[in-house]
Structure 1
Amino acid sequence: MSKSFDIIADQLFSAALLQPAGERAGFVREESAGNAQLERRVMKLLSAAGSPDEKLAGAFDTARESLWRDVLREEATAGEDLSGQCVDDWRLVRRLARGGLATVYLARREDGNFDQKAAFKVLRRGLDTDDVVARFRAERQILSTLEHPSIARILDGGAMGDGRPYLVLEFVDGLPITRYCDENGVELRGRIRLLMRVLEALHHAHKHLVVHRDIKPSNILVNAEGHVSLLDFGISKLLDPESLPGGGTLTRTGVALLTPGYGSPEQQAGRPVTTASDIYQVGLVAYELITGKRPFRDLRLPGHVETPLPSRSLDDGKLRREVTGDLDAIIGMAMHDDPGRRYASALDMRDDLQRYLDHRPIVARPDTLGYRFAKLARRRPWMVPAITVAILAVAGYLATLTVYNRQLEFEKRRAQAAENFMVDLLRSPDPFTPADPELGSSITVVEALDLGVARLGSGDIDDPALQASLLDSIAGVYASLDQHREAIELGEKALAIKRELHGDNAREALAGLVMLAQQHQAIGDYDTALGYREEELALAKRLFPESHPRVGAAEAGVAALQEALGNFEESARLYALGIAKMRQAPEEHSRPLINALAALSGLLDEPDPPEAAALLEEARALANELFGADSLSMALIHVQAATAASNYRDFETATREFRAALDIYEARLGRQHGATLTALNNLGVLHTRAGEQERAEQVFRELLELSEQKYGREHRSVAVQYQNLGTVVGRQGRFAEAVPLHRQAHEIFDATLPGHFMTAYPLISLAYADLQIGEPAAAEQAARGALEILGTSDSQAYAIGVARCLAALALEAQGAETEGQQWMVDARALLAGLSVDPIYQVACRL
């Protein structure tokens, strides 16, 4: 009995398990399509599914089928229904579906922050090992980066009380794409446009190194407004045996987790799955979308090379004529048995469909003169009478065509090289052909990226433009994983290549400048980050008119760095300029616009509360409309709203907003991501302001430990936690314990941000603590050190005033009362009209 037969039998068996018990026999008979041997084999397995466990050994005659035993045991609990139960923040409303691997429920968020529907998917027993859960969490961080309008997002994840992992997915209220088109009478060109939206979403995922593996009509939903959503991204990858311990062996022995009738030849053969497999499955869906039928009546055996043409399945003569030719060629190329002969990327297939809609020549067909002329005539019928005159230009046209064909061939070779690189990267964990023999199948995402970078540096890819593009892509993934220095190194290399190729005024350099600025800002190197932002702004002004939204986005980027450096007036001015320009195209520049609105709201919160509130509400509405209530952009709005509420001492509202932000960050990014740690830090500061010092100390001690694990000791984030911990310890009267904490904070700041105004803050706290333990000389030294760093900056008037006040108290305590009194007069003048911390109000006798 052949391996291919075993594979087909397993696929049909798994599909049959998804059917109601009374319909399984008919389903197997129909799908077997007259293959009596296949039907008998699958019915035997189904019969075993209802047998006592001790009888299973006789029914299963291959090693691969031992994997199914746990699944079949679970079949006895098929009636399990968790509806009505609460799991963490989710209440399970009703069961939507139950498959061979998971059960899906309609769920509602029950944490009181906001109302939200979701799809709650819980894994079957037997797949919830510690290793699978660990890989599941690592996968979730990558999937959290897939923010695309046509991708159903992962909202949350965790484990049930019995240890079974679960995922919470965006709930999409729609119909499968085939049913939507049929019930709404969508014509052919409309169906093609829907398919193009699917390919755009798929291209976004592939750029982030995520392969879907299970594209079928039921995973592509269209809502009443015609919006397309692609479901279950990464789920099939997560559950595929290749990602499980020993998974390569399971795949080799025939257990392939795919939907019968929608698997690519390489999936059915148990070979590694790549982005080309997704292209094949899109071709299958396109065939069914156009013809209303599947291309293969029975399950397709690997090695079957005939590619069906959709036009041959159509009875409607008019539709057949429209499909014959270009659409046949496009779908045929997508469904080619050889992955290397398919479209190199989802974007390539999308572009070919757009060419079809525009009546332009497609890549999938031979580019003959007659074919191009027919396309031209259909696109420009008024030119046909002038064809005689056009013959005089044939020679020039042929020359142009030759150049175009050479360019097209060059682009195809470039796309193929890119695909080969990404395929090798995605195959890194393959235990049979590991990219690194020492790491084998246990290789992590970061280690796989490191290997990809090494290959780029080896000279295997000699196309500079492709090399720059791949460097940018990998740098982006490093950045999403908080690997900032690796992202900077690759980003700088990519930027250098682009400048060499396109010159100093290259539009291609803009995105690279933004990424480098963001990464330098993330590691606390504000001056370098500001340099990149100013370079971005100068380039944007050379490329676009002064009033262009892209110039506004660059101005907002400079504003963010000015704010980080303490130049608040200049920051507010640049934010206002940038916002006014970006409002012309809010969807195109949505993220920088939302960030700028929230940031300017924070800067105006004290001088102009109504304007600050209006800006924050504008940012909230935009984030909710474009990205949803659970998006990272909305988390930023929650943080800013919490900060504003805290400034008005509305601690209840502030706590609620911070908790909402933390829920989003933890669900989307994980507990140790930089954004989550920042939100947690803000919550600790809130507890401090609310007088809840013990709760604040607990938060800051946890943050100090997490920050040192994540960044190492010499990092500004670690310094912030030492400073905050020293503050709350001091406010509980333990000043002797606070002194070394503030000193440690100053030393780290001084090493990582020499001369920065933040370096002065620990010295101010240290001066206050020294005064409390009777060390006025040490207090004077710390206060004078802070003043030397702060200089005479107007933006630091508050810190300068407090430092002069503490220096005055230190002088008085040492007997220099006259000098101390003069310093105190100067301090009070600086602090007049400012909101001063209560402990300094008392100390400075305000």
Structure 2
Amino acid sequence: MNPKNPREESIFDGALQLPPEQRENYIKAASGEDPSLRQRVTELLRAHEGDGETLKVPAVERLQQITVVTWPPAGEKAGDKIGPYKLLQRIGEGGCGYVFMAEQEQPVRRRVALKVIKLGMDTKEVVGRFEVERQALAMMEHPNIAKVFDAGATESGRPYFVMELVRGIKITDYCDQNKVPMAERLRLFTQVCLAIQHAHQKGIIHRDIKPSNILVTMHDGVPVPKVIDFGIAKATHGRLTDKTVFTQFEQFIGTPAYMSPEQAEMTSLDIDTRSDIYSLGVLLYELLTSRTPFDPKELLASGLDAMRRAIREQEPPRPSTKLSTMLAGDLTTVAKQRHAAPPKLIHLVKGDLDWIVMKALEKDRTRRYDTAAGFASDIESFLSNQPVLARPPSSVYRFQKWVRRNKVAFAAASAVALSLLLGGAGFTWMYFREKQARHLADLEAVRSGQVAAFLEDMLKGVGPSVALGRDTKLLHEILDKTVERVSRDLKDQPGVQAELCNTIGEVYRAIGQPGRAEEMHRNAHELQSRGASGKSADAATSLNNLAMVLCDQWKLPEAESLHRQALELRRKIYGNTNASVAASLNNLAIVLRKEGKLAEAEGLHLEALALQKRLLPADHTDIAASLNNLGWVYRDEGKFGDAEDAFRQSLAMQKKLLGENRPGVAITMDNLAFVLCDQGKFDEAESLERHALELQRKFFGSDHPFVATGMKNLAMILGDRGELGQAEELSHQALTLRRQLHGEEHVEVANSLDGLALLLRKEKKLPDARPLAEQALAMRKSLLGDTHLDVSSSLNTLGLISHDEGKLPESERFYRDALSLQKNVVGVEHPFIATTLNNLGLTLRDEGKLDEAELDLRQALAMRQKLLSPQHPAIAASEKDLNSVLSLEGKEAVRTGQISKR
């Protein structure tokens, strides 16, 4: 007995989702004024109950699509062959077809998924839809979409196609079973969005996006979502096949809980890609809350017309509202599945994520995201603490996002929030409207959530003058008082205390107070290292935070040790499936670069970058940061061209994602200017550096370490251009600021001393230059050790000063010591080595050691010609210096490029 039309099957499928006692009322409501329709559906149900094995369709598949269903005879079974494929077991079934796991032996041996139409089901409509799915999949090539390998027909003429076997589970089940945190859920979701975007670019609308059609499988230990089942797909331009005509008019296509309002119309209204945007919004809603906007059972029980009306007209609750109105036990379960406390989960979802989801769920499709890629981009903005497009861009809102990125205004909010919390002020939280939720075990999570929520609200009351660092004295006072209260009044709340210590530490670090930041992060680390919590993700975060602030202060051995511990812990927790592992790799590599361990640093940066490219979209702020960090390693290795490329890629990506005026953009611009100066590209370097310094002063105020670095770098560029007066003034300012920020003994102070000494030497102020250079050398040896690459820079500076003072043997000794150290650290070829050889050659020339001078100057020129661009001014300088020796020897001068051809 066959359903005669799509509406008949729609009602039949809907009835199967309900308990038997509810089916009669549903069928009556759905059939309306058509008693014959009601009778046919009732008879179908009786036949189904009598032959359950013949139409055994899982609940998640029954609502998949509307097809012509018939009662087929027994079809293929395990052990049979279809074409060259041996059927192993049935792994799926829909109304019109079976899906088998099959084995292919030739030309390659592999297991595949084979989908075949059931016997007796090869109607024109079913064949049309089958062909649609095959062609849709065949058109696409994307890592998050199941691939089609082959197609054919059985001996009886029924079509089949063979596709990639996706061994996975529904995305929602994967996330819940593995207690995937919210950030990782969102990153998985962005991959799904980009897969759907690919389909849209190929002219395909999926029309049935739901968890059972998105499976998560593991590739090399990394979770990868795969979009499957394009069985009711639609072409955006024309038909995929002439056989699809029966799916195109007045049919109820899709799964009601995930169906867009225009799909629910059941009219000839054109369905475009924005219908998939709506379904993606429902999927995101479920990933956030474990619920769909409309309860599927309630939709079906309400009858067909009421169901369509609800989808078209009824506004669903925001995700945060859905969470806050759950029963306490349900909310606790949902929160645990997201690795969060209930109040913290509600707080996280409330705001931006609410706006993002509700934009995707707009009834008016013109108000939804235009593209799936745009949807994914807004999620990335949320993850990066950037303004999202989904909410009105008010000045208050944009300022809140700036504050989150810069961590400055948290201090004032913390003081007020803590005074209310610790002083016993009453908080009202929707989660606690049910009395049974007030049990002692939730107390710590509750208070933590309250603090986080209140801090969020308090941001609106913080003025821009404070946020931009113009009232740092007041800010420091507020922070200091907050710290006193945290340590005094939260001794019985270690989890809350640790969380606040970490937050306050980040504020101190952001405003250039690394010593206070270290104190707070040490407190957080000690609190979270006790007992089982010492092996948690939060403990890894505390280790990472403490290590970063130690790195800021050049306390490198301890920073390296802590970063290695954080990396080990994160790998134990996540394997290589979490972006925090890549962050730890990056942070450890930064320390290693500062220690001069360049080869290991480069390897870790490349490993981090590869992991991020697997886990994250192609354009992501984490990837931009990794490229920036890799650029520094390349620069120290003397690979100036590679460094420039890395910095430029990072800068372009940040501008694309964040816009021009962002702190990270200013920092990367500064780095790019530095390496451009290394290559003699002084015009672009100066322009970039001036712009970067302007932005840094705007974002960080006038007394921040980044500003000191910008001034020092600009002074270096101006010095190389011969603008010595302005360069000296800036260099003095940078040194003064660094001493104020770091004290007398600090690596950055040593860097400024050395840079200023070089400028004074160029100005012939040798009595002023020597003591600064000697102080820089002593400080670098004390802080970094005798074998650090920075020590060779100081030796070179003193060699230059000694040469100009006429102390040639001393100059020679400094250069030879520098050369020996550099070769031990960076090998035998490096631009720094070429510089030292050139300097040594000039000293040997003036000592009358012409043979040795010629040899060293030839090596320096050859090395520069090999490592630097042909236009680099250092090459011309080397040729001039070598020719000065050749002239004294009565030899022919070298011509441009001559050395490199020998």
Tell me the TM-score normalised to structure 1 length: 0.50
Give the structure with higher Rg (CA). Answer: 2
